[in-house]
Structures are given as structure tokens and as C-alpha cells.
Amino acid sequence: MSPQHTIPLLLLTLAFAPSTTADFSFAFPSLSLRNLTLLGDSYLRDGSVGLTRQSPVPCSSRGAILFNLPIPLSPSFATTFSFSLPNPTPAISGDGFAFLFASQTWSLGASGPFLGLTNSSSFDPNFIAVEFDTLADPQFFDPGSNHVGLDIGSLVSFKSSELVPHGIDLRLGNLINAWIRYDDDAKTFSVWLSYSTIRPKNPVLNAKIDLSRFFKESMFVGFAGSTAGSTELHVIDNWSFRTFGSNVSAPPSPPPPPRTLILPGPNLNSESNSHPKLGLGLGIGGSAFFVLSVLIAFAMFAIKRWWLSKCEEAFEPLELLKGPREFTYKELRSATKDFHLSRVIGSGAFGTVYRATAPPSSDLDVPPFAVKRSKHAHQGKREFMAELSIIARLRHKNLVRLLGWCADHGELLLVYEYMPNGNLDQALHSAPQVLDWRRRYNVVVGVASVMMYLHQECEQQVVHRDVKTSNVLLDAKFEPRLGDFGLARLTDHDKSPVSTLTAGTMGYLAPEYLQYGKATEKTDVFSFGVVCLEVATGRRPIDKEGPQSNATVNLVDWVWGLRSKERLIEAIDPRLGGKFNAGEAMRLLLVGLSCASPDCGERPSMRRVLQILNCEAEVPVVAREKPCPSFSCSLLPLNAREIIAECEESVVSSPLYEVKIV
């Protein structure tokens, strides 16, 4: 069977035989972007994938690689791959990588001991993984710094095994071959490792477990890895994968009747053949009936899919509320002391934000939280549903976490985790103490990281449309959390979002957005550039020329004026008293000007910005004179995304892999 027909056959098998799952397999002798999606810091080079960035100095990094299509999982599977963990500074190792099954709601997790799998030590039902760990972490009860483990929704392994007794050392950087197999009949999970291409007789890890209870109907398969304070690399080669056996969720059904029409032979002694024309007629009629049944089933299936899609569109906000909980109006009213003025901690276009604490008599077992309240009618509800539907899908350490919601008494309320250090605007312009340089730079890097996630790592690209310092919240450790998605819009990665209504905050809006009202990732990049300049200079985007002057000056123009005079370093906030890193300061100012360029075609992607801020790419060349505005990017297609869209056609057309459906 040709590769062009394999995926459609799989879809037909799933459509007409829901009680069974076709076996699925692929083999990649050489890895290719046509088959894989890269997340985070992962990269492709010479047919191999690196999960973490190459750096001459110890750094924090995380990345992942996923097969482009979700796999319809059978209860049994087997995979084989080769990997190596070279480390320029072997004295400092960590943290390792994992072979991964991810649900469709999974997103790349944190670096360090979290291996890019999750963002916390709590149970996460969205992944099943086999970790290859090179750093013993006491919080996860690791047996040592050279072990493998089976992780089911938690980095505390269900079972783990040290590799020294098996003659394997992950930290040497040698090429290692891995075999992983789960046999659902025997309820046995096994992992083999070897420096040779021959699988050893004895596994390094063997566990008795029923994994079918944890598998979803379909999951993504791939790898994730991370570092924190080391230069360890995680390189994957030669990957193959296959599933076999019956469906996890249903027992196997009897095989369908044969489709081949068997005509009776000329045996005159058989009573069954005494009426050959009748037998032929019945055969043809049965075949026609079968074909008609298939057509009717297909039509009903298509109608059902269409109807469900319409229902999902109509009730999408409610369907997305499975994670955040629904609070009662009474609970939120009590937690905010009847929305008392003394509890107000902020306000914006959506409404007022209150600090809330659960009363002792309440059943709420949550720390202090923030309640965003609006009484707006049509526009308020639309923004409410936009923020709710978007942020409920997103997971990143630099995003404000949505705890819950309430729509009652004609009001719309969102419940967030409370940020004790307010927002970046307050920290820069009204806090009693000057925000030090280290925290400023860390905040910018965090915002760049989450914006790269929104633009390039989500299932659908998110254009925030209102990136500004007041929407960057600061937790207890002054780590940044981007919030306020009331103006955000979702779009597919291969399409450009169009908005005919300009929204946002003056001073942060790109010139082409003001001109055409079209919000794209490039308009977000412009806003981020203004934030960079605001953080570096301590000046607002539109500020007075002096204390006694009513004239205003644009921050981007002011910084570019110093650039033209080769006095750019003088733009740094004088309140810092010279206590800043000069190299980082110049890098931040040049990144800010590059992002805030009037020529949208010259603005870098957020991935590139993050690489520059992390000293992994050259500082951009910025013209001495401010360029003239250019609106060409509003008329041309956006640049290709670095993440490959999930497209069946691009997968089956690749010559570098083999897909078999049995």
C-alpha cells in the first residue's frame, strides 16, 4: 500500500470500527521537520534532534519533540531509539530527558528537575514518561544520578532502577540504544539499554502495571528534556515506534463479514446449488446492501461530526471550564468583603480587581487570590469569554494561573492566583524602592519566554494585543506572570489574525496596527519592545519632557535619539545609581529598539529575542537613525512558523519515514 493511502485508511478504520484500533507504526532512520514538531529550545541538525540548547556555560534550558499526529493508542506498544548525552563540563551533570506520551492538552513544562514534562511536583494526568535521569533530586526520591524510571503523571517514579549494575552510564556521552515495550496481555512494562545494536536479554527496568488505565484514546508521542546549571545535551537519533493489540477502552469485537462475494460452483449434487441464479441474486443484493449500509453509516458519521462541531462552537466557553472551578457569587462576595473599596488592587478596561481571602467558615481551601469583576453588558461578556477560553487552555510558568470563574447576578468574574508584588508598572514607577537591575532583566526574559510560547508553541497561536507593564504581574519572588487576556485572539499558525477594531494602550501600539487595525504577532513584538525600553529606562512610553513641562515625548523616539548620538547607555534609569550590567543593558536597549522598529519586517521573532537575551545569538544591528514606518507586513503573509503545523499531507509526503497500518 502506498504511503499516500495509509492515513486515510487509519481514519476510516477508526470511524467504522470504534471497538478496535488499527496497529500503527513509523520508523525514522533520519529525523525531519516534515514529521516532527519542535518545542522550546529543541533543534534539528544532521538528522538528529537536540532537546536542550548548546551553551559554553551552564544554563537553564528545556525542549521537546513530538510526532506531528496524535497516535491512536492500542494497549501494547514498542519503541526503539538511540540517544547520547554529551556534556562539555561532565563534572556538572543534569538533568536528563524522557520518552513521553502526552495528552492533547499537554504543554512543555519547566526546566531543571522537571525535565520539561510538567511545571510542578503535583500530579499531572497529561503525561506518561520514561525518564533517563542524570541528577539525583531528593524531592522526587531519585535513587541516584544515573537511573531510569517510569513516571505516570508525576516525577516521583512508579518504579526506577539504577544503571550502574547494568554497566550503563548515561553521563559518559556515548551512543546508547534503548528499547521500550509494554505488553498489555502480561501487564508488563520493560526497558532495555545497550551500547550495541543488539537488545540485551535482561531489561534494566521491569514493572508489573496496567498502563491501559492511564492511556487516553489518542496521545502524542515524543521526547522532552531539560537542564539547570549544566551544559548537558540530549540528542535523539533513529526513532521507531509501533502499537499492537486491541483497543484500550473496549474489548475486541468479532471480525466483520467478508466483503468478497463467493459465487456457487457447478456442483449439481448439492441441494444448495439447485438454484444458482437465486444464489447469485442474493449475493449481489447482499453486496449492494453492504455498500449502502457503509454509505449510510458514513453519512450519519459526517452529520454527527458537523452537529457536534456546531455544539462545541456554541458551548465552547463551558467546555473549556473543566480545569478551573466554578465559584459561587456568594463565595466571591464574602471573600472580597462585599467587594469593599479597601480590597481594590487594580482596575482596567475589563473592570476592577479585588484581593480576596477565603473566610474561616468557608469551604474554600485556597491561599489569597484575586477577583476580576465586571458589570459590563455585551462588550464585557465578550471579553470575559475571550479571556476565559484562551487562558484556560494555556500552561506556562510565566502566565497568570486561572483558578476559577463565576457568571451570576449579571456580573462576570475571573479568579486568579494573587500576585503579592503587584505589577511591573507599579514596581517601576510607584514602588518606594527602586527595582534592581537583576530583577528587571529577569522579568524581561520571563516575558519573552511566555510570548514565544504564545506565538510559536501553542496549538493555536495567541496574539495578546495588550502587552504592557501593567499586565505583567510579579509573584512573591518577583517572577513575571503575563495576564489580562481580555483582548487576546486565537488563530491557526498558518493564518494571520485580522481585527478591524484597534484595541490596546497608546504608547505600546505598533504604527501598522494604528493604521490598519490588524493585530499580528509583529504588533505584539512591538509592544514587547516598548516594555524592554520602559524597564531599562524607568520612563513611561509617553512621558513628560520635564517636571514643569506639559509637552510629551515618545519613549521609542527618545531612546532612538540617544542611539543616533551614540549615547545609548545614557538611557538607563538613573535611579539605579550605575548598579547594572553594562553588557546586559546595551543588549536590552538594542533588543527594545529592534522590536519597536517602525518597519515591522525588521522586527525579530520572539524565539530570536529570547535567544539574544540569553546570550545565544548575536545582538541585532540597529540603525542609528530611526527607520521610516513600513506597513508591508500588513499586506504580505506572515513568516513561516518554526513549529510545523499538524498536517497529514505534509507527513505522508515525507520520504524519510515509513508508516504502516496493519
Q: Which residues are catalytic?
A: 466
- 276 to each of 271, 289, 407, 410, how far by Cα in Å? 10, 20, 71, 76
93 neighbors 218 (Cβ within 8 angstroms): no
State the cell numbers at 50.
537536540
Q: How far apart are CA 353 and CA 5, in angstroms?
A: 55
Q: Pairing relation of β-strands 59-67 and 218-230?
A: antiparallel
Distance CA 468, CA 396 (A): 18
84 - beta bridge partners? 235
Cell of 457: 508553541
Q: Name the packing angle between helices 437-452 and 521-537 (round to 10°).
A: 180
Q: What angle do CA 15, 19, 25 make, to 5 degrees?
A: 75
Asked if 392 contacts 459 with a C-beta cutoff of 8 angstroms, the reply is no
223-244 b/e with 16+ CB inside 10 Å = b? bbbbbbbbbbbbbbbbbebbbb
Which of the 8 DSSP states describes residue 630? B
* Structure-block grid coordinates of residue 191: 526497558
Residues 541-546: contacts with CB under 8 Å, at least 24 apart: 541/468, 541/506, 541/507, 541/508, 542/506, 542/507
Q: How far is CA 468 from CA 416, 528, 573, in A?
A: 19, 7, 18
Residues 114/64, Cβ–Cβ less than 8 Å: no
> What's the N-to-C CA distance of the chain in angstroms?
10
The span from the CA of 449 to the CA of 608, in Å, is 10
Cis peptide preceding 95, ω within 30 of 0:
yes
Residues shown for the chain: 662
CA dist., res. 358 & res. 1, Å (int): 62
> What is the distance between the alpha carbons of residues 659 and 240, in angstroms, rounded to a whole number?
10
Is 277 marked as binding a ligand? no
CA distance 81 to 197: 10
Residues 6+ positions from 317 with CB-CB distance below 8 Å: 385, 388, 389
Q: DSSP secondary structure string, 182-195?
A: EETTTTEEEEEEES
Spatial contact of 147 and 133, defined as CB atoms under 8 Å apart = yes
Within its chain, how far is the Cα of 159 from the centroid?
27
Residues 391, 415, 62, 31: what is their CA dihedral angle, to the nearest 10 degrees? -30
Take residue 301 and report the three cell numbers written for it.
Answer: 458519521
Q: Which residues does the annotation place in the binding site?
A: 372
